Structure 1
């Protein structure tokens, strides 16, 4: 088992007032081409999961949000204590992406939720957190709807 300390991460389903979802895409040649993903990434030291989600959404999508719903969290691997925290964001304000050098090819598009969920079912996402967050956001519970920040 690796001694590397893995940091928690956050992933965001950002939905605009028409119900469209912010999706990013990029080419991952080592994995066979272009894949979709949701805004998200690893927590910076001292950040809580929501702060991470807010930062990643702003940086990768250029979006800020007024309302947030936690969707849950899960372990990244069995051999790590790191978790991925899933959020849904509403009441969005659009701005410019703040991409780093490694993110400069990220393309932002807005998809109907049904199409985003279908893309997840078709295997068009490289990592599992995006599809899980989409499935959870597409089937809200009264508890998730009550936990707005």
Structure 2
């Protein structure tokens, strides 16, 4: 048995979109099950996201603290953002988000991991990048608004993040997955064994 997720498409006999929002929507599909019965499945339709675990030369990770209204928490997170247009190159989106949220640029990029954040209720796919060789970005800082206007920035040792995750103190999906993945990488085959920044992403195909 191959330990690998595989794409599959069960028959959909009807589909509706009862809600359309600014960035996402909700879809209801009537899906044919293996026994032939048809059942409805509701899920969020999402454009996809990128996240960046930015690691400096001192082994610290760039994190930010931001209010998230659905969970009524201020969460420590890593920089992240939506894929703004279908087919957008995820590396370009990640570089943009790192600049906009932290005013930082990076010279070395790898794919750290790819995840479906909540596959039982959303089709959101996230590519998490590892960014290294950090420096301050050129030009003026990006003007932030809404929740981002209250954002705090910090650089935290990776081991402190891992301890916080395992202690149940840190909850953001991308931070949790990114910190644990990088910890495993550094204790395993090393950064150079990671996929290159332009590696294919079947969940969100993109132009080079």
Shared fold per TM-score greater than 0.5: yes
Larger CA Rg, structure 1 vs 2? 2
Q: Is 1:145 matched with 2:192?
A: yes
Change (3 A) 1:65 1:120: same
Give 1:113's aligned residue.
158
Q: Which moved more, 1:85-94 or 1:71-80?
A: 71-80
Q: Is 1:122 matched with 2:167?
A: yes
Change (3 A) 1:108 1:99: farther
More helix by share: 1
Q: TM-score, normalised by structure 2?
A: 0.63
Q: Is 1:5 matched with 2:45?
A: yes
C-alpha RMSD of matched pairs (Å): 2.4
Give 1:47's aligned residue.
88
Contact 2:112 2:129 in 1 (8 A): yes
Contact 1:14 1:21 in 2 (8 A): yes
What is the Cα deviation at residue 53 of structure 1?
1.3
Secondary structure of the 1:53 match is: helix
Q: Which moved more, 1:95-104 or 1:26-35?
A: 26-35
What is the Cα deviation at residue 56 of structure 1?
1.0
Change (3 A) 1:145 1:37: same
What is the Cα deviation at residue 32 of structure 1?
4.7
Partners in 1 of 2:45 and 2:68 — Cα distance?
Answer: 25
What is the Cα deviation at residue 119 of structure 1?
1.9
Give 1:91's aligned residue.
133
Q: Is 1:76 matched with 2:117?
A: yes
Partners in 2 of 1:110 and 1:17 — Cα distance?
Answer: 11
Secondary structure of the 2:129 match is: strand
Contact 1:60 1:99 in 2 (8 A): no
Change (3 A) 1:27 1:71: same
| Higher RCO by CA contacts (8 Å cutoff, separation 6 or greater) | 1
What is the Cα deviation at residue 117 of structure 1?
1.4
Contact 2:165 2:171 in 1 (8 A): no
